A and B are shown apart, each in its own frame.
Chain A
Amino acid sequence: MGNIKLHTDQKYIEALLKNDTAVLKEIYENFAPKVVGYIKKNNGDASRAQDIIQETLITIYKQAREKGLQLTCPFDAYFFLLCKRKWLNELKKSSGKEVTINEGIVSVDDESVRFAEETEIFNAKHELFTEMFDQLGKACKELLKVTFTIKSMEEVAQKLGQSYAYVRKKKSLCIGQLTQLVQNAPRFNQLKNLL
């Protein structure tokens, strides 16, 4: 990855990671108006726009946190694309209402599209993983929570009064079960085709 040239707008990604409210405020001031305008034109209102913006920023945060998102394109187009598609999805989900698509608001370059698509796939996977995690049995969920929040496996073993090898084995079985759940979910195959 070494040599990619980061866009100066990477600062917005950093602000999400650091919960830096001064810069986050800039995001609202600089980029919200376009999103609000778009959503209002397409059967929405300001309060829905606020939700869409917040959800999109959280998705970007998650991707940055887990995958180390590195932006090489302007935040503007990338962010707008994500909000727009999220809104269109909601419209599709909530009703059979006619969806007016207004493409001409932002000049979209290929790179922004690529970034937005990556984020969308990340988000779809993330949702699937979270859903499947919820389907695990209580014992597995708790074991995984403990093993991943307390970093040292020795400490976990001590806490649970078990041997290190035993806890690791249990942990591996729980993640194995989760792997199976994800693999068997029909949505996973659709996602795989997108990759």
Chain B
Amino acid sequence: MTPEEKYELFEKSCGNELSINEKARLNKLFDEDDAVKKEFQLYKELHSHLDTNLNTENEQAALTDSLKKLGDNYFAKKPEKKVVKEAQKEDKEKVKKQIETTTTKKPKVIKIPAWSYAVAASVAIIFGVYFFSQSSPVYNDFATIPELSISERGDAAEMVKNAENAFNSKKYVVAEKYLSELISRDKNNAEYQFYYGISLLQQDKYSNATAIFKKLYQGNSVYKYKSIWFEALNQLKQKKYDQCAELLKTLPEDAEDYKQAQKLLKKLQ
């Protein structure tokens, strides 16, 4: 028996499509060769693995997003950032104290020089500015949402109008619905997909958005580079700075968002 025939029998068995003769043939094979039996078990397992996993991508992405949100909320209750802020405060106070002690170490001098306050204040300001500019960049500083304007095509015209209106008035939940409907009619339309991705991202549906942008930047549409940029912003929004930087580095110089990307990269370093 050729491997082709063997696998066809395996497949028929998984789909309950074996004739009585074929069933007997397969059982005979199993009796004769334990390796075939084992191979069939693995085949069956892979069949069920594919069946579940190729069908539940969206469901799993939705769960991942829920968990991310719940986790963010749960962990935000006891943020570690507080510690950093406290440390900054302490630092500032230390400097102030140092200045105070250095100034008060000369007790015989009659007046406390007024400039010491100025120094303290400016040191505090410098610290503030320093830490402020050190703080991590955020999504909203970099995300400029483009306008959606789709050229109309026949019977989809009304759906397109609805999608456009919803998207441009920032009603992303509604836009998602219309765009998803449009995509189901026109699967390879990169424009629909790109704006669909943004609608998801604006609703913090991170993993779903990633799936869309990834498909686009692995492809060759006009939205290739735009999708890299938005996927980087997606990572930024989730505070995954390393992943964000990795994506930004793949943007070529002639990409529309190159300059912004470089700016963001600098902030991330």
Residues of A within 8 A of B (CB): 16, 19, 21, 24-25, 28-29, 32, 45-47, 49-50, 53-54, 57-58, 61-62, 65-66, 125-126, 129-130, 133, 144-145, 148-149, 153, 168-169, 171-173, 175-176, 178-179, 182-183
Contacts and interface: CB of A to CB of B under 8 A. Distances in A.
A169 B70 contact: no
B50 interface: yes
Interface stretch (B71-79, B102-110, B256-264): B71-79
A28 B77 CA distance: 12
Contacts of A24: 66-67, 70
Interface residues of B, number: 39
B42 A182 contact: yes
Given A24-B70, A46-B80, A19 B59 contact: yes
Given A50-B75, A169-B4, 20 more contacts: A19-B66, A21-B66, A21-B70, A24-B70, A28-B71, A45-B80, A47-B80, A54-B64, A57-B67, A62-B53, A62-B60, A65-B52, A66-B53, A149-B54, A171-B11, A172-B12, A173-B7, A175-B7, A176-B3, A176-B7
B10 A25 contact: no
A48 to B, nearest CB: 11
Contacts, number: 103
A49 B78 CA distance: 13
B175 to A, nearest CB: 22
Given A61-B63, A126-B49, A179-B42, A173 B70 contact: no
Interface of B: 3-4, 6-8, 10-12, 15, 39, 42-43, 45-56, 59-60, 62-64, 66-68, 70-72, 74-75, 78, 80
B33 to A, nearest CB: 14
A165 to B, nearest CB: 9
Contacts of A148: 50-51, 54-55
B74 A28 contact: yes
A69 to B, nearest CB: 12
Contacts of A62: 52-53, 60
Given A50-B75, A168-B8, A182 B50 contact: no
